[in-house]
């Protein structure tokens, strides 16, 4: 019998976590081999590795403890990879040399697959004077464009993608531009954005008071705090970004407030980290710890939970010693504090198994109790490790025990820390678990509600064909195995589409009390939620002790990925074609076409490039049909001919071709780009993409700059035969990308924007 609870679980293991030779030949012949590989490697740093290898193997078996993907994929392979999931880089200096030193460090980290976070508040605002040169500063967003291009280049080189988080303080003079940056959907695509919101700002918002934007002691502008708050809210209401991080609360509650200041987080926000901070992640699968599920005496086995947590803490602590690091500063930071992030997955499924409704007061109270049990077990286990192996090097008992997270901890736990010290400065975090949740049999992800009870997944076969398979939530599958395939689900079954936004907040706040780092969670809001009700979600998150807030409201820009039936059961949208949709036959060329020619003068180039785009008119609407790219520079001849033929072929297939603009604008020339009209353009190809974008705007095929690259609904309906259905997965092409735990995630292949 297979160990996997669903076909998708085995496919995820094979694609992402199974060790294979360079030619694709499997080394791990079974998932048990993968568990053994990881257990053996993490036990290798122990004085008695054989004993701990068996304990670690038992924790991994049956998917009870789920180390994060980089540990599953990298431990025991002998490869030079980091087992850490996320990093916050060093403080960005406000100098050109320092900025590009930071860019190099980011590239080295991302090359090993690490997701990174940066605070760009340290760069002087646009227009500020630069000493020693007769020029004004270009501002932090211009350098974020360079970081964005670098990330695309690392990806194009075939490395495992690593996402980026950019933060900016709410009092930085460029904060309004930062908030609006994602309105251009082709810009900063490799970044998640979050505003660092301070307590004084929130008090000013509530009092409707003024707010100063300042840098290096100089006030650049004063505005109404509520106006700035509304601008943040409007952007995330329309475009799902930026997120909000309550940075003062994070620093006040930090166990290490006595020796570090936090100004940035990892890409999903669950790990606030200091400069060069790194964290590794793992999750307890709560759905595997419920005894007698869906029976009257169903309960979470807290003895098994405590035992599993104790083993998991030891395993994760060993990762600190077993892992490699992209930078020496990251290794030193990790060893000095031994920070780990143990979280959960399958929480919503576990609540269903004991008959409780996710989002209810009862469900929130149970969640708080479970998370407290995990926190207690984690801190006691780390104190025991400290007695055996020593406390983390920067441990200061008096200061540590007076820190925010420890003040409400039970006395017996604090007594153990006072006696033994503690091995790991921070221990708990709830990270995105989308892919490992699929690997564990499609359990509910992190602390999120069940997203959909079932959906149809299209699987790409080796011969290029696609087959369909149903993916059912783990708890739903278990319930129907017990009560029959046609059994009606009880009324306490809820999902992300039917849950009130404030119920989401209640669950996040309940969990946050016992999580010493933070939580990656998405609060799903209905499309028709009013703007005032939407703002209330963020204010409630602040008032109830959350450390941040991320929402997702489906609309024409963000995409609407699920439809909810009258029975309140979430089901995937009907998907007739599933792949990128084209016209059945290429468009025929008329004898005469209308078009425009554009002259593109690239700096330092002797000859201009001329771009001609001709359009066809269908149903009274113009759409591009062909392109000609010409230059007298013979060095350009081969690639301009190739580009002409390729783009023209795409145009003639019909459908939404605005992606051509995005892909061209993403091309980064390692020899350097150029500044054109005050904006950094990373390559000639990116400039050509800009020309095509301008043409598409002029003919009405896409909306204008600042509104994103959104196809005109009438044009799309005319060309494709249906209205837009949201975003397609960039990895497998399937529609259904959904926001989970702060990351756009594909249910079909497990692809995540956050890596």
Residues with a catalytic annotation lie at 266, 268, 270
Between strands 523-524 and 551-552, the pairing is parallel
Alpha carbon of residue 543 to chain centroid: 25
Say if CB 84 and CB 278 are below 8 A apart. Answer: yes
Helix axes 31-43, 49-60, angle to 10 degrees: 140
Q: Whole-angstrom Cα distance, residue 755 to residue 434?
A: 11
**Which tokens hold the place of 74?**
């990298």
Say if CB 172 and CB 178 are below 8 A apart. Answer: yes
Q: What is the DSSP code (8-state) at residue 735?
A: B
β-bridge mates for residue 193, sequence order: 166
Q: Whole-angstrom Cα distance, residue 188 to residue 181?
A: 8
Strand, helix or coil at 479? helix
User: How many CB atoms neighbour CB 316 within 10 A?
Assistant: 28
Those residues with Cβ within 8 angstroms of residue 160's Cβ, 6 or more apart along the chain or in another chain = 113, 755
Alpha carbon of residue 392 to chain centroid: 29
> What is the layout of strands, in order, in the sheet containing 609-618?
594-600, 609-618, 621-631
Give the C-alpha distances (Å, rounded to integers) separating 205 from 111, 139, 208, 263.
41, 26, 5, 21
Three-class HEC string of 469-526: EEEECHHHHHHHHHHCCCCCCCCCCCCCCCCCHHHHHHHHHHHHCCCCCCECCCEECC
Strand, helix or coil at 691? helix
β-bridge mates for residue 519, sequence order: 430
User: How many CB atoms neighbour CB 80 within 10 A?
Assistant: 9
Q: 390-415: buried (b, 16+ CB within 10 Å) or exposed (e) per residue?
A: ebbeebeeeebbebebbeebeeebbe
β-bridge mates for residue 454, sequence order: 472
Q: What is the DSSP code (8-state) at residue 92?
A: P
Those residues with Cβ within 8 angstroms of residue 542's Cβ, 6 or more apart along the chain or in another chain = 197, 202, 246, 549
**Which tokens hold the place of 424?**
């790991």
Q: Whole-angstrom Cα distance, residue 490 to residue 352?
A: 9
Give the C-alpha distances (Å, rounded to integers) separating 672 from 107, 143, 476, 680.
16, 13, 53, 10
Q: Whole-angstrom Cα distance, residue 492 to residue 101?
A: 54
Q: What share of the chain is helix, strand, coil (3-state, %, to 5)?
A: 40, 20, 40
Say if CB 595 and CB 677 are below 8 A apart. Answer: no
**Which tokens hold the place of 146?**
């360079």
Those residues with Cβ within 8 angstroms of residue 114's Cβ, 6 or more apart along the chain or in another chain = 82, 84, 85, 86, 87, 162, 278, 326
Say if CB 412 and CB 375 are below 8 A apart. Answer: no
Report angle CA 488, 11, 82 to the nearest 5 degrees: 120
Q: Whole-angstrom Cα distance, residue 264 to residue 728?
A: 30
Q: What is the DSSP code (8-state) at residue 586?
A: P
Say if CB 351 and CB 344 are below 8 A apart. Answer: no
């Amino acid at each position: 019998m297979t160990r996997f609870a669903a076909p998708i679980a085995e496919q995820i293991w094979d694609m992402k976590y199974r060790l294979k030779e360079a030619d694709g030949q499997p080394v791990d012949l079974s998932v048990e081999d993968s568990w053994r590989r990881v257990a053996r490697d993490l036990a290798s740093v122990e004085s008695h590795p054989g004993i701990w290898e068996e304990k670690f193997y038992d924790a991994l078996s049956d998917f009870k403890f789920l180390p994060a993907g980089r540990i599953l994929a990298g431990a025991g392979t002998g490869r030079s990879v980091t087992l850490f999931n996320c990093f916050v880089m060093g403080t960005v200096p406000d100098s050109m040399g320092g900025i590009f030193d930071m860019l190099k460090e980011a590239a080295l980290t991302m090359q090993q697959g690490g997701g990174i976070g940066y605070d760009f508040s340290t760069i002087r605002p646009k227009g500020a004077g630069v000493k020693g040169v007769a020029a004004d500063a270009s501002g932090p967003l211009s350098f974020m464009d360079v970081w964005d291009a670098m990330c695309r280049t690392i990806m194009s080189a075939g490395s495992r993608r690593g996402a980026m988080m950019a933060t900016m303080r709410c009092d930085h003079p460029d904060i309004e531009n930062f908030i609006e940056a994602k309105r251009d959907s082709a810009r900063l695509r490799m970044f998640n954005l979050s505003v660092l919101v301070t307590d004084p700002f929130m008090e000013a918002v509530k009092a409707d008071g003024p707010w100063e934007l300042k840098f290096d002691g100089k006030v650049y502008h004063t505005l109404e705090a509520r106006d700035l708050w509304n601008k943040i809210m409007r952007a995330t209401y329309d475009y799902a970004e930026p997120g909000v991080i309550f940075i003062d609360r994070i620093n006040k509650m930090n166990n290490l407030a006595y020796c570090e200041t936090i100004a940035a987080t990892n890409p999903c926000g669950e790990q606030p980290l200091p400069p060069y901070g790194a964290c590794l992640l793992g999750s307890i699968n709560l759905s595997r710890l419920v005894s007698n599920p869906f029976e009257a005496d169903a309960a979470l086995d807290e003895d098994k939970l405590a035992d599993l947590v104790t083993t998991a803490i030891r395993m994760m602590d060993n990762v600190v010693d077993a892992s490699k690091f992209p930078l020496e500063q990251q290794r030193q930071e990790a060893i000095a504090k031994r920070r780990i992030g143990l979280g959960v997955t399958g929480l919503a499924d576990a609540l269903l198994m004991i008959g409780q409704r996710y989002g209810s007061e009862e469900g929130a109270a149970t969640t708080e109790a479970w998370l407290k049990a995990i926190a207690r077990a984690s801190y006691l286990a780390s104190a025991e490790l400290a007695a055996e192996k020593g406390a983390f090097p920067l441990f200061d008992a008096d200061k540590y025990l007076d820190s925010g997270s420890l003040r409400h901890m039970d006395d017996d736990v604090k007594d153990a820390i006072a006696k033994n010290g503690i091995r790991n400065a921070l221990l708990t975090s709830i990270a995105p678990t989308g892919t490992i949740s699929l690997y564990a049999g499609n359990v509910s992800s992190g602390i999120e509600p069940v997203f959909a009870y079932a959906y149809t997944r299209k699987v790409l076969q080796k011969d290029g064909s696609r087959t369909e398979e149903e993916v059912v939530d783990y708890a739903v599958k278990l319930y129907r195995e017990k009560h029959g395939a046609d059994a009606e689900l009880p009324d306490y079954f809820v999902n992300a589409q039917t849950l009130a936004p404030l119920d989401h907040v209640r669950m996040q706040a309940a969990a946050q009390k016992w999580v010493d780092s933070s939580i990656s969670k998405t609060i799903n809001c209905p499309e028709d939620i009013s703007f005032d009700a939407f703002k209330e979600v963020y204010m409630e998150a602040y008032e109830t002790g959350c450390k941040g807030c991320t929402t997702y409201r489906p609309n024409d820009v963000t995409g609407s990925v699920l439809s909810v039936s009258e029975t309140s059961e979430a089901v995937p949208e009907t998907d007739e074609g599933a792949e990128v949709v084209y016209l059945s036959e290429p468009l025929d060329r008329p004898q005469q076409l209308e078009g425009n020619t554009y002259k593109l003068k690239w700096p330092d180039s002797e000859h201009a490039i001329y771009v001609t785009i001709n359009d066809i008119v269908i149903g009274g609407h113009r759409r591009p049909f062909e392109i000609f790219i010409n230059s007298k520079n013979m060095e350009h001849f081969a690639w301009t001919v190739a580009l002409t033929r390729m783009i023209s072929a795409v145009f003639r297939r019909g459908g939404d071709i605005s992606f051509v603009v995005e892909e061209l604008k993403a091309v980064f020339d390692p020899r350097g780009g150029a500044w054109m009209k005050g904006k950094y353009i990373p390559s000639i190809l990116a400039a050509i993409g800009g020309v095509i974008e301008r043409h598409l705007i002029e003919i009405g095929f896409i909306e204008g700059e600042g509104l994103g690259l959104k196809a005109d609904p009438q044009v799309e309906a005319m060309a494709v035969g249906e209205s837009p259905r949201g975003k397609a997965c960039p990895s497998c092409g399937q529609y259904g990308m959904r926001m989970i735990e702060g990351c756009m995630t594909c249910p079909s292949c497990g692809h995540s924007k956050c890596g």
